[in-house]
Amino acid sequence: MNTAFVLSVNKSPSHTLIKKPCSSVEVLQGLGIAGDAHAGKTVKHRYDVAKTPNKPNFRQVHLIHYELYQELNQKGFMVSPGEMGENITTKNIDLLNLPKDTILKVGDHCVLQVTGLRQPCSQLNRLQKGLKQAVLDLDNNGDQILKAGIFAVVLQGGIVMQSDTISIELPQKPFVALQKV
């Protein structure tokens, strides 16, 4: 089994889809990525703020697996880490099939708890036509598969850098499948 690690860390101080790669990010307990527009105790996504501004922020950190970028590149989409809005691009983790409440220990100090799946938005099509549909799929039962990454909350902060290792701690059974948050 290959070691899971951070391929890229990214942030944006404004509500833009693309987050710029950084050498490191400071992850703040209970908030998210320092200097990122989506950090906070309550929701920061503009759509959610308009509906329920005091709702807890279960989207403090957005993670996408690098293998999705490889899949998209094979389909003709030219996208790179950070361009679909994630804070952390991982490698060698099947993020989408982790159970809810999985603990991800990133680097020496950072501890994240997985909360759910990202519902891809139409902003992806502004990046490249058809990209939103490319990150959706159907399973054998005809149910939709959301492939645009997962969200987590920060249980313990720290500095996260490119090439930091990631360890996975599964929650107690029975596992709960991820749903969109």
Query: Which pLDDT does position 165 carry in this prediction?
Result: 98
Does residue 61 lie within any of the structural domains?
Answer: yes
Query: Which pLDDT does position 46 carry in this prediction?
Result: 73
Does residue 41 lie within any of the structural domains?
Answer: yes
| Count: domains in the chain | 1
- Which pLDDT tens digits describe the chain residue by residue (181 residues)? 699 999 999 999 999 999 999 999 999 999 999 999 999 999 887 777 778 888 999 999 999 999 999 999 999 999 999 999 999 999 999 999 999 999 999 999 999 999 999 999 899 999 999 999 999 999 999 999 999 999 999 999 999 999 999 999 999 999 999 999 9
Could you tell me the strand order of the sheet in which 158-161 lies? Answer: 32-33, 24-28, 158-161
> How many CA atoms within 13 Å lie on the side-chain side of 71?
12
* CATH number of the domain enclosing 155: 2.40.33.20
Contact 54, 42 (CB under 8 A): yes
Does residue 175 lie within any of the structural domains?
Answer: no
Long-range contacts of 75-83 (CB under 8 A, 24+ apart): 75/134, 77/128, 77/130, 77/131, 77/134, 78/128, 79/127, 79/128, 79/131, 81/7, 81/8, 81/10, 81/21, 82/8, 82/10, 82/18, 82/19, 82/20, 82/21, 83/17, 83/18, 83/19, 83/127
Query: Which pLDDT does position 47 carry in this prediction?
Result: 73
Contact 146, 83 (CB under 8 A): no
CA–CA gap between residue 135 and residue 14 (Å, rounded): 24
Q: How many CB atoms lie within 10 A of CB 107?
A: 20
The domain of 139 spans 5-169
Q: How many CB atoms lie within 10 A of CB 42?
A: 12
Report the predicted TM-score, pTM, of the whole model to 2 decimal places: 0.95
